Structure 1
């Protein structure tokens, strides 16, 4: 095909194919591999497929070590037969030796998901990148601070992965407590920022750190990673929450105000945009989107569920902007909010589910073929 058609036609044909097929077509010949791996095809193919729910479930491992677990990663398939039913389609397993109450997912970007699989004072923090569509996996170098007394499992504050379009490079950011994982109220703990660019053989410590403590996984959008500041004890509730961002190209931190009244919300990826969701009175959810440094209200809806059920937003269910929500802790209950009809329905799940659910959008970015330095 490479000799019969001009490159523009070949790129147009490949851009219309699903990513799962393109991942297989890489093996046809060197010419196809060159076209499929080219950054131009990745750019024009980006966001052409709807987001897919990915489930990360921790289960006991067959290993004799009682602390050893497996992170079973599955795609959630949707069957539209009168009622919405989700069935688990298993993809792959990743070893996990972290805390049982902590999610193994530390971020996702450009079709790749950052997964934690071990945290020890001796080995440091071990991370792996996975591509659920192609089933590729790549282990990153261990994150371990030198000459640090408190380099322990509790030192992790936040993490995330972003993509630098100027260099076509995936960047992983890791923020830790440098000396102690505990500090008195009102005193910011000393932080350390570690950066790893895919293709390098080690992590690099940055001189700059976040202005405020941050937590959880970062949401990547428009060249920046975003975290919600951990406000407990560091500023009054009247000041509101802050969103800490990190520019992956410039490697600089900055601050943006969260929506007013949203002291107890969460950041979420909404089809490549930064979203902020919070419950204003326990039974209502407001969902905001960050547009050009300003927050715009996207929707507000009633949960119509018992107040004791803690519901979190997973992300956009499809390109129409419908929202997938899940209960937090214990047996999962799933809900879908339809934007056009302003309707919230519970989703039936095939089998018991005690897991972490994230939205995933496929990408052509390949973990393989990186030149390590």
Structure 2
């Protein structure tokens, strides 16, 4: 005769077998998972081998990134530096504010003449810093908390070396790439600077030197003050030059340089003190300048609406009060398709604020970021230097 315990065990086994037989088509599972935030998807990797295989598939990564961009599922990437300890912190935060999330700490970073820059594409952020002698570049996925340190591209020779890294995405190959331009200037009369161009591919994690004609007579001044910030649009990396009537463009598909003309009205009258810079707005290339903004409280964003025909359209952003009241805020990046990040300011020991402007509504807002969970960020010496908006992504590193 079957005991009560045996009967209950049989019932449980039957139920388990019935649940095991219940399954959804892979298309439905993919449809559901692609709409979830990255944090939830990472947990679902451990459900089963089929789910892990599905989530790790490049086609799923692309689908998830596309839907995250359409649904404006964006967040903020932030870099902070403590010169007293020589530590640099990578942080992230929700788009609407709240507590900061600590991603990684870099130790023994240079402090003298430290220059930083960051660029984001499809959920990945390229962050580079250096002092002219030590230069480092990292690719970060803030959503998965993964960080890749790029190997040094070459052995630099003697002389003054200027090194810059620029982030790009080759749409023809669906591949992230890093463009490295190195110029070595020798302190010898009549000796021309040596220019090296290299490309790092995130598909094979290696540098490749290319022989390409550089369309400029690059001087030390022109290089140091011009080629520091870039914007990638339609597989083309654009760099602002000291000659502010034109941009240097590098096409990742053809691996060739070209010159893009800027609308003459976008160039400020007082070039030395009002240097414009590049920004991406709604997926388009933009040039921003604050020419005489102190008197009229307006900042102009010139957007290249028609790339092929060189048609620039001006958008005007008007501050409700004097520009100086906002700490002389200047557009830094686009948080999503509609919003522009203006500034990052530490209001108190435990709070940092981000000023944003909505292009659609024409309104400003202040987003509060709290530092309470990370006492090392509350120190007086800590400097918040970079802030970028990024779209959630499963892109692996």
TM over 0.5: yes
Q: Deviations over 1:289-314 (max 9, x none)?
A: 22331322233323622299443212
Among 270, 273, 287, the alignment partner of 2:281 is 270
**Closer, same or farther: CA 130–347 of 1 in aligned 2, 3 Å:** closer
In structure 1, the partner of 2:56 is 37
Q: Equivalent residue for 2:120?
A: 108
Report 1:347-362 matches (<5 A).
347-348=367-368, 350=370, 354-362=384-392
* Contact preservation (8 Å) 1:265, 1:279: yes
Q: How does 1:34-183 map to 2 (within 5 A)?
A: 34-45=53-64, 46=66, 47-48=69-70, 49-60=72-83, 69-77=86-94, 87-95=99-107, 97-116=109-128, 121=133, 125-145=135-155, 148-150=157-159, 152=161, 155-156=162-163, 158-180=164-186
Q: CA deviation at 1:199?
A: 4.1
User: CA separation in 1, counterparts of 2:74 and 2:108?
Assistant: 25
Distance in 2 between residues matched to 1:316 and 1:173, nearest whole Å: 22
CA distance in 2, matches of 1:230, 1:279: 16
Contact 2:355 2:366 in 1 (8 A): yes
What residue number does 1:301 align with? Answer: 318
More helix by share: 2
TM superposition shift of 1:177:
0.9
Contact 2:266 2:302 survives alignment (8 Å): no
Partner secondary structure for residue 106 of structure 2: strand
Contact residue 229 and residue 277 of structure 2 kept, 8 A:
no
Range that drifts further, 106-115 or 206-215: 206-215
Distance 1:343 1:110, change over 3 A: closer
Q: Provide closer, same or farther for how the CA distance between residues 205 and 279 of structure 1 changes in structure 2, counting only shifts above 3 A.
A: same
Please report how far the alpha carbon of residue 27 of structure 1 lies from its aligned counterpart in structure 2 after TM superposition. Answer: 3.8
Question: What are the Cα deviations for residues 42-96 of structure 1, in whole angstroms up to 9, with x where unaligned?
Answer: 333221443322210011475xxxxxx22212223465xxxxx654332322336
Alpha-carbon separation, structure 2, partners of 1:151 and 1:246:
24
Q: Distance in 2 between matches of 1:306 and 1:346?
A: 16
Indicate the SS of the match to 1:291.
strand
Deviation at 1:129, TM superposition (A): 1.6
**CA-to-aligned-CA distance 1:94-127 (integer Å, 9 cap, x gap):** 3362455544334222222222366675xx6432
State the shift of 1:172 in Å: 0.8
Aligned partners of 1:57, 1:173: CA distance in 2, in Å? 25
1:208 positional shift: 1.5
Separation in 2 of the partners of 1:273 and 1:39? Answer: 26
2:264 maps to 1:260? yes
CA 1:78–1:164 in structure 2 vs 1: closer, same or farther (change >3 Å)?
Answer: closer
Query: 1:42, 1:364 within 8 Å by CA — same for their partners in 2?
Result: yes
The one of 286, 291, 310 equivalent to 2:305 is 291
Structure (1 or 2) with the larger CA radius of gyration = 2
Going from structure 1 to structure 2, the CA distance change for 1:243 and 1:299 (only over 3 Å counts) comes to same
Q: Distance in 2 between matches of 1:253 and 1:138?
A: 27
Q: Would the alpha carbon gap of residues 17 and 349 (structure 1) be closer, same or farther in structure 2, given more than 3 Å must change?
A: closer
What is the alpha-carbon distance in structure 1 between the residues aligned to residue 186 and residue 74 of structure 2? 39
Tell me the distance in 2 between the aligned counterparts of 1:207 and 1:57: 37
Q: Does 1:250 align with 2:254?
A: yes
> What is the alpha-carbon distance in structure 1 between the residues aligned to residue 392 and residue 122 of structure 2?
7
- Alignment partner of 1:24 out of 31, 43, 67: 43
Query: What is the number of equivalent residue pairs in this alignment?
Result: 339
TM-score normalized by structure 1?
A: 0.77
CA displacement 1:314-342 (0-9 Å, x = unmatched): 223344x1222016999987422233442
1:257-309 C-alpha deviation (Å, 9 max, x unpaired): 12323332111133433222111322321112223313222333236222994
Q: Is the 8 A contact 1:245 1:253 kept in 2?
A: yes
Is contact 2:303-2:312 (8 Å) kept?
yes
With structure 2 as the length reference, what TM-score do the two structures score? Answer: 0.73
Alpha-carbon offset, residue 169 of structure 1: 2.5
Inter-partner Cα distance in structure 2 for 1:328 and 1:6: 49
**For 1:261, what is the secondary structure of its paired residue?**
helix
Task: Please give the alpha-carbon distance, in whole angstroms, between the structure 2 residues aligned to 1:2 and 1:246.
Answer: 54
2:62 counterpart SS class: helix
- CA separation in 1, counterparts of 2:250 and 2:21? 41
Change over 3 Å in CA distance of 1:180–1:342 after alignment to 2: farther
